[in-house]
Amino acid sequence: MPGKYTIPRLDFGSDLVATLFEIERLRADIGTGDTPYDTYVELHRLFDFVMSVVSARIEGNHTTVYEAIERTDSQSDPQREITNIAAAVRFIDELDAHTPLTHALVRELHQRVVADLVREGDPTPGAYRDVEVGIVESDHRPPSWVTVHAEMSALLDFANEDRPLHEQMLQIAIAHHRFVWIHPFRNGNGRVSRLFTYAMLRKTVFATRGYSALNPTAVFGNDRDSYISALEAADDLSDVGTIAWAEYFVTGIRDDIARLVDLQQHAFVIDQVVAPALDGLRRDGLVSSQEHDALRIALERGVIKSGDLEDVVPGSPSYRSRFIRGLRERHFLQQAEEGPRFYRLSLARGPIALRLIRRLDVLGYLPRMLADD
């Protein structure tokens, strides 16, 4: 049997190699767009929250994406599971992209994911399992708990290796499978494995790209059964099975990178994503024509101040201030980082966020798992 952490030899004419070349071509376009940084960050946060819903859905959580966004302050177990995952993603985003992947980091992610949960909790948050476990509806028997720490050490050594660009996607695909194969925790392995993979993407392929790193959960959420089947194909640790899993993984990543590049083009964001959402709000009477025009200016400029709205909101500065305050109170606008009198669209929460999810679904950006939401 080949080594557990050996990169398989590939047929140069295979579909997998062709897909890897496509990823490298697309990767060169990351960071070259003109979407305002704050706008992109908001879209990134919204997408990550939706992916938190998907990650929980894979584990059997039936909360819809709309329920999750509207009930972020709920203390229900299903909602807490989603907010835990979203908070763990933000925790990863705050790390230096070059932070090594360590036992401490993996256990920290686990502790954050299962914190205060009942159905999807763990009796030992942040600790590797000390019992034998099985995987429901799977023939794979994870290694004994006695070897978990050693198995994870080998995985982390592999995940932290400096690999040439053309091997990095294969490295990440293999690491994701081996994490699930080891099953280091009693519960929460799937959720932590997807976060671990996100951290690897930031550390390797997108190390210098900041918020441009994509959340790979979209790949796994397109079809849960296909995801599980692709993972199981690699459980024998053979080259054939590992390549089959890698083909599934990298094809999904390629499609997501293409969408990521689109979202960095401001014209695309305006014309295809946010503007249609604003038009829908006006059409349904949730904003007035004047409010719609003001929000459209914020969309096109990225950041606005009161004077920027003078043409569409005539009158005194105090009147425009009250107008802006009303939009902020209804979560259409929020204060920008530039200062207390600068504002930008609120895209990751509030009424616009709900319409953006519909647009992203129409554009094919959301996993099929959310189709019935």
Say if 2 falls within a structural domain.
no
- Evaluated on CA atoms 258, 62, 199, 167, the torsion sign reads negative
CATH classification of the domain holding 43: 1.10.3290.10
Domain-terminating residue out of 263, 290, 322: 263
Domain count of the fold of the chain: 2
CATH classification of the domain holding 301: 1.10.10.10
Say if 8 falls within a structural domain.
no
Residue 337 and residue 276 share a domain: yes
Say if 1 falls within a structural domain.
no
The per-residue pLDDT for range 231-263, each reduced to its tens digit, is: 999 999 999 999 999 999 999 888 888 888 888
Residue 309 and residue 231 share a domain: no
DSSP 140: -
Measured distance between the N- and C-terminal CA atoms of the chain, rounded to whole angstroms: 44
**pTM for this entry:** 0.89
Domain-terminating residue out of 263, 286, 302: 263
Rounded Cα distance, 92 and 98, in Å: 11
pLDDT for res 1: 43
Question: Which residues lie below 8 Å from residue 340, measured CB to CB, with a gap of 6+?
Answer: none
pLDDT for res 344: 95
Domain-terminating residue out of 238, 263, 288: 263
What is the CB neighbour count within 10 angstroms for residue 358? Answer: 15
Listed as ranges, residues in the chain with pLDDT below 50 are 1
Residue 338 and residue 308 share a domain: yes
Residue 60 and residue 196 share a domain: yes
Supply the range of the domain harboring residue 322: 266-370
Residue 135 and residue 53 share a domain: yes
Q: Give the DSSP H/E element, type plus range, for residue 343.
A: strand 343-345
Residue 259 and residue 271 share a domain: no
Residue 237 and residue 126 share a domain: yes
Can you name the residues that pair with 175 across neighbouring β-strands? none
DSSP helix/strand/coil, 311: coil
